[in-house]
């Protein structure tokens, strides 16, 4: 009998790790401006539906045993629900975002204040524009960093200096996939899934070289933000609208949990966008926090 690569992938043990997330309820979610191709201010948004879907996402995380900490939503900041863009927290160090568009600029201060109140200590800032976990994805001991639409590539070196982790620059080239987390999902310390056409040719080559076993997404998967997912190493929380990608993830030994977050798509975000991971300095000790 020949062992195929998919057979060995199935047999790989998938281990769940506890995660701590910060999330901001979409209490003030609406679409009044357009800063990405998904947003159309002429299409009405059902805020109550967005809230109900978001609450379901919180429940899924908590049922999996993860910790969810809530950030206070602020009136007049409809995109604050996309907490992943508020910063990057690695090794217990919080880096506040510096937003590209004036519509979101004020969010940075709210997230920075929240990091301080949560006991994360000194909040780091970058000279250049960067949108937190929207463009910085931690994969094991390295950070993959997007650029092309939002994040200034000069911040990649700044983030490497603050976190002490190598940062790999990836160039995005399709405006629908304007943040790295819309084009690439992190499944565990060594495994990613991504949509190659969202990247420039050199970045595609680099990804193929770094992650030869990556799970490749199709246009259909990417167009429903199927890659905008959150994994604990075993359980992958993702949109319920990407059955093809979900099936491939299950073949590779992951469990998939489909969530309907369709109302939040009107702002151009999905599951990962609503979820900021707080990574402690010592994985055996929880992230400190003084407020809830
Ligand atoms: N409307 C928001 C923006 O354009 C959506 C952000 C989605 N977040 C994400 N991590 N991709 O900035």
Does the Cβ of 269 fall within 6 Å of ligand 1? yes
Residue 86, ligand 1, Cβ within 6 A: no
Distances in whole angstroms, Cα of residue 222 to Cα of each of 180, 210, 251: 12, 21, 19
Atom of ligand 1 nearest to the CA of 182: 11
Cβ(270) – ligand 1 distance below 6 Å: no
Is the pLDDT at 2 greater than 70, yes or no? no
Q: Is the pLDDT of residue 3 over 60?
A: no
Per-residue pLDDT tens digits for 74-95? 999 999 999 999 999 999 999 9
For the cut 70, the answer to whether the pLDDT of residue 242 exceeds it is yes
Q: Which of 28, 179, 274, 289 is catalytic?
A: 179
- Asked whether the predicted pLDDT for residue 240 surpasses 60, the reply is yes
Q: Give 284's pLDDT tier (boundaries 50, 70, 90).
A: low
Closest residue to atom 9 of ligand 1, CA basis: 273
- Res. 287: pLDDT tops 70: no
The structure tokens 């948004």 sit at 45
The verdict on the CB of residue 146 being under 6 Å from ligand 1 is: no
What does pLDDT average to over the chain?
Answer: 94
Each residue's pLDDT tens digit, 194-225: 999 999 999 999 999 999 999 999 999 999 99
Q: Which atom of ligand 1 is nearest to the CA of 133?
A: 10
Residue 120, burial from CB neighbour count under 10 angstroms (0-12, 13-18, 19+)? buried
Report yes or no: 54 and 261 within 8 Å, Cβ to Cβ.
yes
State in Å: Cα 184 to ligand 1 middle.
14
């Amino acid at each position: 009998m020949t062992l195929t690569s998919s057979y060995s992938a199935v047999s790989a043990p998938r281990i769940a790790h506890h995660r701590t997330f910060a999330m901001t309820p979409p209490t003030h979610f609406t679409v009044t401006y357009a800063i990405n191709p998904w947003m159309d201010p002429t299409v009405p948004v059902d805020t109550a539906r967005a809230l109900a879907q978001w609450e379901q996402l919180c429940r899924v995380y908590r049922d999996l045993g993860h910790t969810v900490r809530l950030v206070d939503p602020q009136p007049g900041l409809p995109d604050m629900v996309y907490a992943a863009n508020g910063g990057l927290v690695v090794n217990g160090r919080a880096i506040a975002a510096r937003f590209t568009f004036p519509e979101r600029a004020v969010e940075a201060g709210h997230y920075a204040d929240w990091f301080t109140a949560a006991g994360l200590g000194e909040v780091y800032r970058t000279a250049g524009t960067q949108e937190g976990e929207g463009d910085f994805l931690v994969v094991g001991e390295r950070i993959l960093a997007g650029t092309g639409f939002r994040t200034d590539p000069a911040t990649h070196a700044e983030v490497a200096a603050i976190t002490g982790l190598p940062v790999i620059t990836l160039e995005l080239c399709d405006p629908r996939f304007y943040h790295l987390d819309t084009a690439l999902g992190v499944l565990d310390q060594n495994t990613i899934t991504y949509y190659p056409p969202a990247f420039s040719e050199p970045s595609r080559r680099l990804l193929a070289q770094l992650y030869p076993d990556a799970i490749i997404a199709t246009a259909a998967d990417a167009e429903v933000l199927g890659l905008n997912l959150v994994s604990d190493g075993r359980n992958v929380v993702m949109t319920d609208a990407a059955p093809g990608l979900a099936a491939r993830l299950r073949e590779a030994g992951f469990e998939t949990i489909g969530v309907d977050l369709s109302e939040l798509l009107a702002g151009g975000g999905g599951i990962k966008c609503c979820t900021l991971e707080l990574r402690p300095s010592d994985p055996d000790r929880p992230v400190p926090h003084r407020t809830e």
